[in-house]
Amino acid sequence: MTLTNRNTIRANDDWVLWRGQTPADRQMCLVKEARANSPYRPILLTRLADEFKFLDQFHHPHLLRPTTLDATGGRAVFADAQCNLTQYIGANGPVPPTLVANVLAMAADALDHLHARGFLHGSVGAAGLFVTPTGRVAFADFHGHPFKSADPLPVPNAEPKYLAPELIDATTWGKPTPATDLYALGFLALELLTGADQFTRLFGVADGADWLRWHSDPLHQLADWKPALEHAPAGLLDVIAGLIPKRPADRQFQSASHLKEFLVKSRLTSDALLRPYRFTPSGGTTAIPRPPERERTGTLPRRVPRKPKLVLHPLAGPGQPWRWRPDSPVLVGRKRRCEMQCDGRAVAPKHALLVCGQDGVWRAFDLSTAGVTFVNGTPVRRTKLYPDDELYFGEVGVRVELDYTRPQSAFDQFELVAKLHQGSRGTVFRGRWTAKGGREVAVRVFPRRFQFDTAGLRRLLRGVPEAAQVTHPNLVRVYRAGSERVKNCRVWFLATEYMPNGSLRNRLAKHGRLPAGEAAAAVRGAAAGAKAIADRGLVHRVINPGCVFPNGDGAKLGDFFFARPTQVAAGQEVTAFGRHEFADLVYQPPECVTGAADLTPACDVYSLGATLYEAVTGRPPIDPAGPLPEVSQQILAGDIIPAGELTPGLPPAVGAVLAKALHKNPAERYADAGQLTAALAGV
């Protein structure tokens, strides 16, 4: 196999470990190679073959998988790794405590896999623990030893600064056990927290000193080390203290599974990954670019009149600002469940936490994830936020604004900004979803009598979850429904996507009937949304100009809480329409008016046709004026005036589409909204 050396990870007189790449497919890998000029080459070749055979029997995410062995050439190829932890510390300095806990948990997971099979690692250290391209760690470059056998344990190829006393002198300290590997893991955690230079100072041992003597001598004890690590959580320091006693019986953790379980249950771990960086061909490292440093110019008032809202303006591009209320924390990261979702380079799944304290001051907490949190160009673990601060999550930058103005009327998680419409079904407001960074939404606040409308509540609670599962470019997104107690009343609301252009009904009221092409484009968009609903086995039932929202060259379809399955099982109750929906009755097909249990997508075709009819003629196909029995009879058996008679010059193709879509018999209409869309394609 031909490989190109991209960078050297570790080298001595006998071995060289390097990151290789295949020229053909540019796949990366880790290569361990015996030096050709080593006087011990025959022994090295045997050792390399034994190591490959040993690791090849395991399949574990934190044990680097071997792939190819060239026994005569003295080369073993493993799955890819960017570097080992020795290089990682050298490039990045001390590792944040959360990541140290994660490294401990991943290493303990691998050690538990080995110990359960009777093997001791024996040489745990920073040089043999590798960082994978995904930001996780995995062991490689070692040959385990069976610690349960009666044979003496061979001398491991270990880093002396991590070596457990029983590996040096089994007569004094006893036989090695799984706690032997955990002892080395504890000292590795100390080096990760302090960095390579400070680690040696912590022991009072000069670099290059006799580490074996320090570990094997019971008079040498690590004392007063916790004050030097005040930045680390007390729980993590207690874990390390339980790993590093010299007497094996004094160690708190006797098994790797116990250590891993304790770290998780103590909530010291997270899903954070090691900070990404890449090697240059020369072997150096290039870190995530650091933002330029700047002076802090903003100030905080001595007495805060009220807790401010946090407004974050993007530094790159004209995007909408994020707005956060002070009564709930804001999790920043790449995950969908994060309140502030960022997809920039070096942004971790859970990157930072923004919290407004009881003192009315916003603070940023770096979660020690894959990237660094910067404030005005300085990396921070925890800091207050001031007006005009530049806050970076990885390479995503925002400018801080603190808004002390009195909040507008609020409802649940929404600030109600402006009234859009008021009708029999309640009042619709333009609002901001404060739990989602001030995202603009439309909030329908139902009348107070709605709390007693059992059928309406059933429609709302059934229809909203169904509608929220259907996502389509031509459907208005449904976000949230619920209620809030207001003056001893239960007031219900529905929050959906905000459509700034208003509804087709708004446009018709303002401009009158529309040109045939514009009307057809709006109905085509709504029909595409209706087809998406039909594909999920639902029918909308109440399509009308008020729930068609023109959007650019098309439209979106809204008002989903009336949706119901096309097929209704025997005995299943189907809600009917109340009197407050009478105005929309004229857009319903005969089968809906008669309360048919089983409906087909053709019923929505009729409603779309009625909407198109009003868009091109300026009036609905059935006159809504008059008593209910007369209107119902007109829907069931009355003739509809051809649209061409009301709108001279209407293209014949539109008249033909309307005649078919508005047929009394569902079997004579277009079978579904998809066929209606195709029929309107040429209009």
Domains of the chain: 81-278 (1.10.510.10), 309-403 (2.60.200.20), 410-497 (3.30.200.20), 504-679 (1.10.510.10)
Low-confidence ranges of the chain (pLDDT < 50): 155-156, 207-208, 277-287, 369-370, 569-580
Quick one: pLDDT at residue 603?
Answer: 93
Quick one: pLDDT at residue 65?
Answer: 92
Q: Which residue in the block uniquely carries the two structure tokens 């090295």?
A: 44
- CB 15 within 8 Å of CB 32: yes
Sort residue 118 into left (φ over 0), alpha (ψ -120 to 50) or beta: left
Quick one: pLDDT at residue 282?
Answer: 38
Q: Which residues pair with 383 in a beta bridge?
A: 364
pTM, entire model = 0.47
Percent composition of the chain: helix, strand, coil (DSSP 3-state, to 5): 35, 20, 45
Q: 560 — phi, psi (to 5°)? A: -95, -10
Quick one: pLDDT at residue 204?
Answer: 64
- For residues 683 and 670, give the distance between their C-alpha atoms in angstroms, rounded to a whole number: 17
**Residue 571 burial (10 A CB sphere; 0-12, 13-18, 19+):** exposed
Helices (H), 562-640: 590-593, 602-617, 628-637
Quick one: pLDDT at residue 11?
Answer: 85
Quick one: pLDDT at residue 284?
Answer: 37
3-state secondary structure of 457: helix
DSSP symbols for 119-184: EE----SGGGEEE-TTS-EEE-S---EETTSSSPPPPP---GGG--HHHH-HHHH----HHHHHHH
Relative to beta strand 75-78, strand 83-84 is unpaired
- CB 669 within 8 Å of CB 658: no
Quick one: pLDDT at residue 570?
Answer: 41
Quick one: pLDDT at residue 567?
Answer: 58
Quick one: pLDDT at residue 572?
Answer: 44
Q: Chain centroid to CA 109: how far?
A: 25
